[in-house]
Structure 1
Amino acid sequence: MSIAFATSAAFLDALDRLPSADTAARDAALARQAQLTKPAGSLGRLEEIAVFVAAWQGRERPRIDRGRIAVFAGNHGVAARGVSAFPPAVTAQMVANFDAGGAAINALARAAGLELTVVPLDLDRPTRDIVDAPALNEAEALAALNAGAAAIIPGLDLFIPGEMGIANSTPAAALCAAAFGGDARDWVGPGTGVAGDTLAAKHAAVDAALARHRADATDPFQMLRRLGGRELVAIAGAVVAARMARVPVLLDGFIATAAIAALAAYHPAILDHCLAGHRSAEPGHARLLDRLGLAPLLALDMRLGEASGAAVAAQVVRAALAAHDGMATFAEAGVADA
């Protein structure tokens, strides 16, 4: 059954009634781990990952028969302030590259055995400049939430949200500051590699946006619509819909994780079904993961976005599930149990 949010109140209500993991499945997975032919804890976080996925899939021996990456794409009015190394036209050009199979995420999704869907969101209609006005009105924000929720289809075993949007590290930094405090100095990084005047423009835009909107960003919906962007709001909608369907989520880098910062600030339990795929090279990501209490599976100095880091981390998740499912127990192998 598809999940949709008819109103902002419905979205906020969903955050108040987040379902929990299946404790019986978790206990069964833990019991299995205790019987596998290895010293207890010797596979480290692989054991934790297997139990985590078991609890959310509701089965002792979890699997990834159908894992999905959804890359949401949007454009931003704040790009006109010169905060990025690339022009906004690159967003649509990269979407075409995704569709043609030529981007990094295409190759990495294939390597990880994951399906890839790309969701462009009104690319010909950038958000409003967050320095001057809310990025989205309420109807636009709801449409973006529901575009994200629509990516959660029946039968998913794992979901990875990704993003593409020139200048989107600027609203991502603003969302982090609004959610967890601080200003541009605390959250703004080089993004696509900017420095000098471009980086200064980015700092100025974030601080000005915070000054304009902070007092009115009084709940996760308002925070997202005022300071976010269509692809960021869509990620938030997808993560909440995944929770309602009890689908585990593997988060990507700074921007994709910033998309749920507003949710986590008000409802920390939203993170319970999420793993951090990696820690990116964007400076704010390490700080954000620390504030969220998420330990990344990988740290490879990646900073591409597109869900690329999480796609690589998905292979670690597959390894964890393979060991959990494929190893013999002490009894099966005839090995003495300590």
Structure 2
Amino acid sequence: MKKKDFYYDLPEELIAQHPSEKRSESRLMVLDKETGEIEHKVFKDIIDYFHEGDCLVLNNTRVIPARLFGEKAKTGGKIEFLLLKRIDKCKWETLVKPGKKAKIGQKVIFGDGKLKGEIVDNTESGGRIIKFDYEGIFEEILDELGEMPLPPYITEKLEDKERYQTVYSKKEGSAAAPTAGLHFTHELLERIKSKGVKVEYITLHVGLGTFRPVKEENIEDHPMHSEYFEVTEETANTINEVKEKGGKVFAVGTTTTRTLESIGTDEGKVVPQSGWTDIFIYPGYKFKIIDKQITNFHLPESTLIMLVSALADRENVLKAYDIAVQERYRFFSLGDAMLIK
């Protein structure tokens, strides 16, 4: 398939710059993946689409303040690092700006010397490996010096950093939020549970590769990034039991979908494990585990719109996106939601 097959026109003013006033009050488009039928709802109405015996699976990763601003040790020149992946106690894979002058051996000072670093290697994708030197607990230093790494299309300042975290975020490690989960509140989750729905959690630490544009014209040639995930035995057993009894599995977000489909067997079973996944889901893919998906509205020609097109049919998705534009839905990370049922 061609990259252009997943293009749609989006007016810039529909890119959400701030979250809805209340998490569960964002708009919800409901798309029937079989018929293409569309309903317009409010997110809290999603409870009406669950039945007793279903399972809701969410990603409990937590975004770290992964953007660090430093100065070159010799010249005082400004340099910015975006932490992508922890290699060991002191080393991280990063993106650097400006990258051309970020040479191996370059020493950097952060926060008046509270944190120091040295670029020790390059990565195949054009990033840098930095080795940090510090006293104390790295996470506490990062929390003090780092900033939340909002996507580049969000240009306004986020007043409350917790609005870029899900209410159930727990395990730190993401460079970006699993944004489909931003619409849930504790109250809504409790109401869903009271309906007899199993609520389970997986972990997938979101890398910025999620937002990397597809450059290859043939999408099959696109090299997918890898991300770390964990699925416990308890979660796997619950999902398997739900499926055996005929319940439906609702995946919250493309991250949860990719995790479950990575570890699903051809027999439709989930195998508990942890590791790295670089699964790329696009039309033609046969889903093994998930039945329904809660997601946001994604960038044109992105791997994310390709994934939802695999679940709901490309023509259905593009038609729904055109209607979302006409109806002035809010797009991308801080925008409105879609349920693919």
As a proportion of its length, which structure holds more strand? Answer: 2
Q: TM-score per shorter chain, which class?
A: 0.3 to 0.5
TM-score, normalization by structure 2: 0.32
As a proportion of its length, which structure holds more helix? Answer: 1
TM-score, normalization by structure 1: 0.32
